[in-house]
Amino acid sequence: MDLKEFIKAWPLLTRQVKSLRIPWLDQMSAEARDPFQVLISCILSLRTQDKTTGEASQRLFRLAQTPGKMSGLSAERIQKAIYPVGFYRVKAHRIRDLSREIQEKYRGKVPGTIEELLSLKGVGRKTANLVVTLGYDQPGICVDTHVHRISNRWGLIKTKNPAQTEFALREILPIRYWKKLNGYLVAFGQGICKPISPLCTQCKIRTFCARVGVSRSR
* φ, ψ dihedrals at 141, nearest 5°: -125, 105
pLDDT of residue 9: 98
Note the pLDDT of residue 129. Answer: 96
| pLDDT tens-place string over residues 4-39 | 999 999 999 999 999 999 898 898 888 878 999 999
Q: Are 186 and 146 in contact (CB under 8 A)?
A: yes
Residue 47 has pLDDT above 90, yes or no: no
Domain with CATH 1.10.340.30 in the chain: 34-136
DSSP-derived letter for residue 120 is S
pLDDT band at 139 (very low <50, low <70, confident <90, very high): very high
| Averaged pLDDT score across all residues of the chain | 95
- Give the whole-angstrom CA distance, residue 124 versus residue 118: 6
Domain with CATH 1.10.1670.10 in the chain: 3-22+141-208
34-136 maps to CATH 3.40.50.2300: no
Topology of the domain comprising 3-22+141-208: Endonuclease Iii, domain 2 (1.10.1670)
Is 82 a residue whose pLDDT tops 90? Answer: yes
Question: What is the b/e burial string over 31-55, where b = at least 16 CB atoms within 10 angstroms of the residue's CB?
Answer: eeebbbbbbbbbbbbbebebebbbb
What DSSP state is assigned to residue 176? G
Q: What is the pLDDT of residue 180?
A: 95
User: What band does 41 get if pLDDT is binned at 50, 70 and 90?
Assistant: very high
Q: Write the CB contacts of 88 (distance below 8 Å, at least 6 apart in sequence).
A: 79, 82
Q: What is the pLDDT of residue 195?
A: 95
Confidence of residue 122 (pLDDT cuts 50, 70, 90): confident
Predicted TM-score (pTM) of this structure: 0.91
Alpha helices by DSSP H, listed for the chain, are 3-17, 24-31, 35-45, 50-63, 67-71, 75-82, 88-105, 114-118, 125-130, 136, 145-154, 162-172, 178-191
* Cα atoms in the 13 Å half-sphere on the side-chain side of 148: 12
